[in-house]
Amino acid sequence: MAPKPYYSYIRVSTIRQGQTGTSLDEQREAIRRYADHCGFAIVQEFEEKETAAKLGRPVFEQMLKGLKQGKSRGVIIHKIDRSARNLKDWANLGELIDQGIEVHFANESLDLQSRGGRLSADIQAVVAADYIRNLREETKKGFYGRVRQGLYPRSAPIGYLDNGKGNVKTPDPARAQLIKQAFELYSTGQWPMNRLLNHLYELGLRNRSGTKVTLNGLATILHNPFYAGLIYIKIKGELFTGAHQPLISKKLFDRVQDVLSGKAVEKRLRHLMLFRKLIRCGSCGSMLIGEKQKGNIYYRCHIQDCPQKTIREDIVEETFISTLLRIRFTEQENRYLRQKTKEQYQEYIQEKDSRKQTLRLQLDQLQDRLAKLTDALIDGLLEKDVYLVRKNKLVSEEQTIKERLNNLDADHGGVTKKIEQFLELVNNAYSSYKLANEVEKRELIKIITSNLVANGKSVIFKLNIPFEIITKCMELPGGSPQRGEDRTLLALLSQLTEYFKDHELYPEEAESRKEKVPLDQAILQGARKITNQSHLFERTTSA
């Protein structure tokens, strides 16, 4: 008599268990022993590496389909919890049993055709389902417990290293700087995603498998607040403060989000023109437009019958370069300004200490608000979605305050360093321009000039006030602070110090004042641009 044909079904919860564990082999061997003992023939083996806690297991569904079509007398499974840890799958098996299809368990002596055996199996299935529910709850508790401690329980994103369970992710020496550079470059709005991806690949950025990061992978990186010190749990829509070291500032991350959403992107041009929308017609006041003809770029007035002549870009650039050569301090002026900057440093330190105390108080108040918000959720006074919106906003504010405190505690030179950068920019304006690429050259033009007016075949450059003051000093005989220019230089230094101090200690207030108060302040505009372009100075001067 030919042996009866049966399926076998074995399962582990994860792919990793299937690759590294022995469970599959043990299940397979137990089923074969059971089949030999009962005189069954296994006509097809079904192997699955998927948790039984969720619905939709493809191999399990395929096996059920074969059983319904009568391709096998029944199925042999290792244990009940291998077949189902959710009651829907157990109900599907129950329907097959009611239709006369045999279900055997190699490790459990259950007669599913009898009422007592079926009841016993039903109880074990319910216990298995309850076990997985409890396991899921405990896993969630552990997961969110880690997250609330500032630890990220999942694999570290590119740019960080895993250090074992319960340990903080640390920056990856091989990738961290490249990730930081990705944010910095994309924040300028001048780098399309595909071009940035190729540039980062050339610099050496790879994913963990050593291959090129995909376009979707780069987008995921740029959207991930983890790099700014925050942990975002997408399934909950909730933000947490991370204990790891941020690779970028929250301000830079927010800037990148604006660029990604299209809020801060300038219109891209096929041909980059250095003086586009910068030169005003001296006759009618309109902006000259640029056009490329026969390999050269020309600027012309678009008003019909305007007498203003067309001007070639290389001629305008030559005039600008000659202006740059006039912008520099003498050696004596440099010593004078640096000495005065040092004298003002102590006053800045005192104000910085006061500001740090204020920020710490704000941080305490904010953390108290977070605690009260959580209490309101527990007491049922807030809906979960309202809680998440308010909580995420407070966590974001908390990270910003912590970042400002860390910057003030680090004491990177603050105002003194920024003024030093300004002095270096002045002294190296010409060399910085010559070393810069086309995009950076245009930024330097906007930093140094406030107005460009076309006059016939030439352009008159109006400089931003700090640079204008310098050129006027240079026109005086000797150009020495002892000849009376010290008042001018001190006024310049005082304005710069006040501006940089406000933006170092009170960035939000400074930005607000910039919008509301018309300060005369080409100098402040110039100083703002210098601050924003400090990376340009650092790169070009080091070159």
- Read off the CATH number of the domain in which 253 is found: 3.90.1750.20
Strand 311-312 relative to strand 296-300, pairing:
antiparallel
Could you tell me if 48 and 105 lie in one domain? yes
Model pLDDT, residue 481? 43
| Three-class secondary structure of residue 233 per DSSP | strand
Q: Max alpha carbon distance in the chain (Å)?
A: 120
pLDDT tens-digit profile of 439-498?
Answer: 788 888 888 888 899 998 889 998 876 677 677 665 554 444 444 456 666 767 776 677
Model pLDDT, residue 63? 86
Model pLDDT, residue 523? 38
Could you tell me if 116 and 234 lie in one domain? no
Residue 542 has pLDDT above 50, yes or no: no
Q: Residue 280: inside a domain, yes or no?
A: no
Residue 228 has pLDDT above 90, yes or no: yes
pLDDT: which is higher, 269 or 165:
165
From CA 297, how far away is CA 272, in angstroms rounded? Answer: 10
Model pLDDT, residue 230? 92
Residue 289 has pLDDT above 80, yes or no: yes
Residue 514 has pLDDT above 80, yes or no: no
Stated length of the chain: 543
pLDDT tens-digit profile of 3-12?
Answer: 778 999 888 7
Could you tell me if 223 and 130 lie in one domain? no
Model pLDDT, residue 482? 43
Q: Which two tokens stand for residue 229?
A: 């010190």
Model pLDDT, residue 473? 61
Task: pLDDT band for 411, please (50, 70, 90 cuts).
Answer: low
The CATH code of the domain that includes 124 is 3.40.50.1390
- The last residue of one of the domains, among 260, 282, 309, is 260
Task: pLDDT band for 218, please (50, 70, 90 cuts).
Answer: very high
Whether the CB-CB separation of 164 and 146 falls below 8 Å is answered with: no
Q: Residue 477: inside a domain, yes or no?
A: no
Q: What is the mean pLDDT of residues 223-244?
A: 89
Model pLDDT, residue 377? 84
Strand 449-455 relative to strand 279-281, pairing:
parallel
Could you tell me if 126 and 33 lie in one domain? yes
Please state the φ and ψ torsions of residue 43, each to the nearest 5 degrees: -90, -20
Residue 51 has pLDDT above 80, yes or no: no
Residue 522 has pLDDT above 70, yes or no: no
State the distance between the two ends of the chain, measured CA to CA, in whole angstroms.
88
From CA 497, how far away is CA 349, in angstroms rounded? Answer: 13
Q: Residue 283: inside a domain, yes or no?
A: no
Range scoring the smallest mean pLDDT among 60-69, 250-259, 499-508: 499-508
Tell how far CA 331 is from the center of its chain. 43
Model pLDDT, residue 104? 87
Q: To the nearest whole number, what is the mean pLDDT of the chain?
A: 79
Q: What is the 3-state secondary structure (H, E, C) of 40-86?
A: EEEEEEEEEECCCCCCCCHHHHHHHHHHHCCCCCEEEECCHHHHCCC
Q: Residue 514: inside a domain, yes or no?
A: no
Q: Residue 265: inside a domain, yes or no?
A: no
Q: What is the mean pLDDT of residues 324-345?
A: 79
Q: Residue 397: inside a domain, yes or no?
A: no
Model pLDDT, residue 311? 92
- The last residue of one of the domains, among 115, 142, 169, is 142
Q: For residue 397, how many other CB atoms are within 10 A of its CB?
A: 16
Could you tell me if 117 and 12 lie in one domain? yes
Could you tell me if 75 and 137 lie in one domain? yes
Whether the CB-CB separation of 278 and 432 falls below 8 Å is answered with: no
| Three-class secondary structure of residue 259 per DSSP | helix
pLDDT tens-digit profile of 358-382?
Answer: 889 999 999 899 888 888 888 888 8
Model pLDDT, residue 48? 83
pLDDT: which is higher, 321 or 438:
321
- The last residue of one of the domains, among 260, 293, 322, is 260
Could you tell me if 190 and 92 lie in one domain? no
Task: pLDDT band for 47, please (50, 70, 90 cuts).
Answer: confident
Q: Report the number of distinct structural domains present in the chain.
A: 2
Q: Residue 198: inside a domain, yes or no?
A: yes
Model pLDDT, residue 345? 72
Q: Which of 15-29, 167-181, 342-356 has the highest mean pLDDT?
A: 167-181
Q: What is the mean pLDDT of residues 36-62?
A: 79
Model pLDDT, residue 465? 67
Range scoring the smallest mean pLDDT among 91-95, 213-217, 218-222, 390-394: 91-95
Q: Residue 366: inside a domain, yes or no?
A: no
Q: Which domain holds residue 132?
A: 4-142
Could you tell me if 107 and 171 lie in one domain? no
Could you tell me if 105 and 232 lie in one domain? no
Model pLDDT, residue 49? 76
Q: What is the mean pLDDT of residues 235-258?
A: 89
Task: pLDDT band for 56, please (50, 70, 90 cuts).
Answer: low
Model pLDDT, residue 414? 64
Could you tell me if 130 and 246 lie in one domain? no
Could you tell me if 16 and 106 lie in one domain? yes
Could you tell me if 137 and 29 lie in one domain? yes
Model pLDDT, residue 94? 82
Model pLDDT, residue 177? 93
Model pLDDT, residue 188? 82
Residue 20 has pLDDT above 70, yes or no: no
